[in-house]
Every structure is written in structure tokens, then in C-alpha cells.
């Protein structure tokens, strides 16, 4: 696996795919700079070697047309502030304008190209467009994990024009290593904590990780499909009736592979899907009609805690309750605290997937786990066992 440390960028122009798809407010100010900060170490390494960096990214969904509201020019000042170097901007990513700006770039300078997705060819993975991009740099660096699962021109196709001169940036290399620690090299016991509302959205992940984990904790809304499948009463809780056979099959597969599955034993139920609804703690398989489980109960959390604290490698994907409502966030917060405690004791913990990352940020666990993945869809496809096109393109030499 070639990383940025395998190259010296002295007098070289690095064409760097970053993920600067950041949120902007009504005044076009960046409201969350995490993705820009995450790319900084890669950019700094190139500059300190004596090279220059040409940054390419998408922003939003302009559908192949120029859209001033989605211009990357809006973020140039923020990128300059974070990197500590005045970033130059050019109003296209291919063609004469871009080629001249890249050619005129001196060592130690940074150029930000205009939004890749202003060209429909980007998302189509057009080879001619990728070749135009390739003219801008000497070495290709992919540091955009969030788009590594897309076979777009800038994430995948462009790599073929840099034989022997392509590598992963620090962020993408870290993402790959974190997933490998869970899926291949992690110290046992390995525990996966899967939450979220639907079994159907997690089925491929579950099937792929059963060979890798020792314990599988299931929480969140998908709990009730498993409980109902085993004959329990789930009241008005969310449930995929057409996935009950699948749930039983997962439990059977886990048993055959020696994986211990831990389901909730009690839940915090409410008489309405509302933060101010009446609540009661009930057995997970005896939820009364008119009531629905919205969070894990106290006995469940004690059970989960003992499993998590014994674990040496932890993967957390998906919340344990409806954490967006304050009264049903306690289970998710508790899981975060248990993972924090296990991590302090030496476990490796990886958090990934949109909702769990949102929860980790909301409740201040970002610095208390080993690694928070920056790529939602890319992370999930990695856990499903897929080789992401953006990663394969670099590994192909």
C-alpha cells in the first residue's frame, strides 16, 4: 500500500483529491471544518517536501452544471486559514485556465480547483475528463475516503494516468488501517455494536462481519424485528415483518460460527413517538399495544457494558435509541461512555456510519474513541467486504 510517505514531492506538483464537501450557511461560510482539517497533514507534507498541491473536490450536487452557490471559491479563505498558506483559486478544474494556473504554481503553493461536479463527466467516470485532470500534476494523491466508493473520474479513473506515481494521503491510509484493524488484524475479543432502525440496511454488513467478530450487540429499531421473529410482543415498535425469517437466519448463522449475539432484554417504551411522551421500562418481548420501544433499558445497558469492557477491538455503527430526542438518548450516550472506558483500557474502537458519527459528535465522544470514520457510505461498503474503486485504483500500481 503506497502512501504519501513513499514519495518525496520536491519540485513536484501533487494532484490531490480531497473531500471538501462541507456545509455552508446562507452567507456561504463553512459551518463544519472537520473535512478540511482532516486533509491538512497530507497537504502540509507535500509543501514541506518542497512541492506544490493542486486540490480537487466536489461540493454539493450541481448535476453537471455550473452553480455559483456551489462554487469552491466560497471555501478558499477557510482552507487558507486552516492550512496556513494563502490558497489560490481557479474558476475551472480542466482546460486552459486550470492548466495555466497549475503550470504557474510554485513550490510551497496551493491551488484549489473549481467544483469537479460542474462537469457531468466527473460522476460518469469519463476517461477523457480524467485525462484532462491528470495533466495538472506529476503525482496523484487520493485523500478522499468519503468518495472512495464512487468510480468517478477524479477518485478512480484519473489514477490510471499515474502509473507508479499514485498513493494514498494520510487520511485515506488511516481509514483503510482502521477498517483492517476491525476486519482482519484486531486483537480479540472483537465486538460489533450495530444499531439503527432497519435490519435490511445492515444485512450485508452483518453477514460479512460474522466471520470476524466474537460478539454482536444489536440495538436500536432493528431489535424489534429480531424479538418479534422469536415470538416476542413488540407493541407499536418499528418492525420489518418481512425480515423476520432473515433475522432468525442471522441468529442461526451466528450460532454456527460461535458468535455471541446480545439483544436488549428491556427497553424504555413510550406511548407516542415524541420526546414528551409517557414512558415506562418494560421487558423487550412484552411491550404493550400502543407503546413502542425508543431506547435501551437499564438491564440491557448493564449487559452491553460487560461485553464492551471485555472487548479489545470495537466497531460501533448505528445508535441504540432515538438519540435525536433528549429523553431517548441515554442508551446511545451510555454506549459511548462504555466504549470510552474500554478505549482508555487499551481497546481499539472505530465508529462509522452517519448516525453513529453524528451521535459521537453531538455527545462529545470524538476524542474518546480510537478513530471516527469520515466516510459514511464508503465506510459501510468497506464493512460489507467490498473493495472500493478509489482504493483499488491506487493498489493497482
Annotated binding site for (2R)-3-phosphoglycerate: 35, 117, 150
Active site residue 198: yes
Q: In whole angstroms, how far apart are CA 286 and each of 233, 245, 290, 291, 320?
A: 5, 20, 12, 10, 19
Q: Pairing state of beta strands 139-142 and 166-168?
A: parallel
Query: What is residue 156's DSSP assignment?
Result: T
Give helix 170-180 / helix 376-383 axis angle, nearest 10°: 40
* Dist. CA 286–CA 32, nearest whole Å: 43
Active site residue 233: no
Cell triple for 54:
493542486
Active site residue 354: yes
Known binding-site positions: 19-21, 35, 58-61, 117, 150, 202, 293, 324, 353-356
Q: Which of 13, 17, 35, 166 is catalytic?
A: 35
Which residues neighbour 365 within 8 Å (Cβ) at sequence distance 6 or greater? 336, 339, 340, 351, 359
Q: Which of 64, 91, 108, 377 is catalytic?
A: 377
Known binding-site positions for ATP: 202, 293, 324, 353-356
Query: What is residue 304's DSSP assignment?
Result: H
* Dist. CA 198–CA 220, nearest whole Å: 8
* Dist. CA 363–CA 375, nearest whole Å: 19
Q: Which of 91, 108, 354, 385 is catalytic?
A: 354
Contact 357, 373 (CB under 8 A): yes
Active site residue 352: no
Q: Which of 124, 127, 135, 198 is catalytic?
A: 198
Residues with catalytic annotation? 35, 198, 354, 377
Amino acid at each position: 500500500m503506497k502512501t504519501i510517505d513513499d514519495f518525496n514531492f520536491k519540485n513536484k506538483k501533487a494532484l490531490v483529491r480531497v473531500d471538501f464537501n462541507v456545509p455552508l450557511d446562507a452567507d456561504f461560510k463553512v459551518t463544519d471544518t472537520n473535512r478540511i482539517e482532516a486533509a491538512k497533514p497530507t497537504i502540509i507534507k507535500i509543501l514541506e517536501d518542497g512541492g506544490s498541491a493542486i486540490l480537487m473536490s466536489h461540493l454539493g450536487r450541481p448535476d453537471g452544471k455550473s452553480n455559483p452557490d456551489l462554487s469552491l471559491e466560497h471555501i478558499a479563505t477557510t482552507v487558507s486559514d486552516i492550512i496556513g498558506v494563502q490558497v489560490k483559486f481557479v474558476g475551472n478544474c480542466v482546460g486552459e485556465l486550470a492548466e495555466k494556473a497549475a503550470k504557474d504554481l510554485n513550490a510551497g503553493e496551493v491551488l484549489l480547483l473549481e467544483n469537479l461536479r460542474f462537469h457531468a463527466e466527473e460522476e460518469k467516470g469519463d476517461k477523457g475528463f480524467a485525462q484532462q485532470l491528470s495533466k495538472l500534476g506529476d503525482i496523484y494523491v487520493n485523500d478522499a475516503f468519503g468518495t472512495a466508493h464512487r468510480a468517478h473520474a477524479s477518485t478512480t479513473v484519473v489514477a490510471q494516468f499515474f502509473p507508479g506515481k499514485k498513493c494514498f494521503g494520510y487520511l485515506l491510509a488511516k481509514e483503510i488501517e482502521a477498517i483492517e484493524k476491525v476486519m482482519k488484524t484486531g486483537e480479540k475479543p472483537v465486538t460489533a455494536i450495530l444499531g439503527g432502525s432497519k435490519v435490511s440496511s445492515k444485512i450485508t454488513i452483518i453477514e460479512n462481519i460474522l466471520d470476524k467478530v466474537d460478539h454482536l450487540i444489536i440495538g436500536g429499531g432493528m431489535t424489534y424485528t429480531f424479538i418479534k421473529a422469536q415470538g416476542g410482543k413488540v407493541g407499536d415498535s418499528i418492525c420489518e415483518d418481512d425480515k423476520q425469517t432473515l433475522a432468525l437466519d442471522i441468529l442461526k448463522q451466528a450460532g454456527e460460527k460461535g458468535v455471541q449475539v446480545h439483544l436488549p432484554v428491556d427497553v424504555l417504551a413510550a406511548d407516542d413517538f415524541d420526546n414528551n411522551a409517557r414512558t415506562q421500562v418494560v421487558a423487550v418481548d412484552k411491550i404493550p399495544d400502543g407503546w413502542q420501544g425508543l431506547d435501551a433499558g437499564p438491564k440491557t445497558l448493564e449487559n452491553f457494558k460487560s461485553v464492551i469492557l471485555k472487548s479489545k477491538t470495537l466497531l460501533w455503527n448505528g445508535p441504540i435509541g432515538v438519540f435525536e430526542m433528549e429523553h431517548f438518548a441515554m442508551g446511545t450516550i451510555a454506549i459511548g461512555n462504555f466504549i470510552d472506558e474500554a478505549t482508555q483500557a487499551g481497546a481499539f474502537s472505530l465508529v462509522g456510519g452517519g448516525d453513529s458519527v453524528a451521535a459521537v459528535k453531538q455527545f462529545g465522544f470524538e476524542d474518546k474513541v480510537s478513530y471516527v470514520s469520515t466516510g459514511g457510505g464508503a465506510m459501510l461498503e468497506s464493512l460489507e467486504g467490498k473493495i472500493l474503486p478509489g482504493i483499488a485504483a491506487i493498489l493497482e500500481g
